[in-house]
Amino acid sequence: MARVYGATRLTVFRRVVLPGAVPSIFVGLRLSATTALLLLIASEMIGANKGIGFQVMNAQYNFQIPLMFAAIVILAGLGLIANQALVILQRRLCRWSNPVN
């Protein structure tokens, strides 16, 4: 329709194609952020000497249960903050759609 009204290829991409793809792009970003955080924690648990994942494993081995749960709560908070940041960005860029929380 945009081509019928005389829009150039660049205008069609900027005004039609890209705004239509942005919600799907953000779904991918949210899923990949979750996967990246999980893999980061797992790699810290396996082969690191520092980090929150290392603290969880170290506290578990040393029976420091409160420290272990505190680190787990921090990790959960980081995941929630990352997800919420992407939801807010999606709401700003996709004013016409309501993202699922």
CA distance 7 to 84: 36
Taking alpha carbons only, the member of 73, 72, 89 closest to residue 33 is 89
How do residues 24-35 score in pLDDT, each as one tens digit? 998 899 999 989
Q: Where are the domains of the chain?
A: 22-93
Q: How much is the pTM?
A: 0.75
pLDDT score of 91: 87
Predicted confidence at residue 19, as pLDDT, reads 86
Least confident of 37-41, 47-51, 96-100: 96-100
